[in-house]
Amino acid sequence: MSDFLERYPEIRLELLCTARAVDLVEESFDVAIRAGVLADSTLIARSLGSPPWHLVATPGYLKKHGRLRSPEDLKKHDCLFFGAGRNPIGLRLEKGDASVQVALFARMIVSDMDILRRWRPQVWVSL
């Protein structure tokens, strides 16, 4: 954003970061960046790309609860999900050409990375 504002000094920017799906027309937004599937709309949308997601755990958590040997092992762990969604979370894991679907019940789903970082003892899943 700082590069953009430096390049266009005449523009005033108001940046609202929220997990709430704002009504772009009703609330007078000019531009929005949203993650996930776009609902049917008359608005113009362009994809900015698909970020890679990762499955991670702290060394301390793995020492206490054991390493995962298979995707099904995730069901035995306290998973935290970054993003939005409802339980169960359908997770597709890929390795090379192989993929597997796992339905997980999240211990917590949160759309705020600061909260997620402070919740240390669990396995994180970013969606």
Of 78, 76, 71, 72, the residue nearest 57 (C-alpha): 78
Are 106 and 81 spatial neighbours (Cβ–Cβ below 8 Å)? yes
Q: What letter would DSSP give residue 8?
A: -
What is the pTM (predicted TM-score) of this model? 0.57
4, containing H or E segment: helix 2-7
pLDDT tens series, the chain, 127 aa: 788 889 999 998 888 878 777 888 899 988 888 777 777 678 788 888 877 777 888 888 888 888 889 989 988 888 888 877 788 888 888 889 999 999 988 888 887 777 877 775 455 555 4
Distance between CA atoms of residues 96 and 74, nearest Å = 20
What confidence score (pLDDT) does residue 120 get?
58
Neighbouring-strand partners of residue 111: none
97 neighbors 54 (Cβ within 8 angstroms)? no
Backbone angles phi, psi at 99, to 5 degrees: -145, 155
Taking residue 69's Cβ as centre, other Cβ atoms within 10 Å add up to: 7
Give, for 117, the enclosing helix (H) or strand (E): helix 113-118
Domain boundaries, the chain: 55-126
Q: To which residue do tokens 């949308």 refer?
A: 45
d(CA 81, CA 109): 5
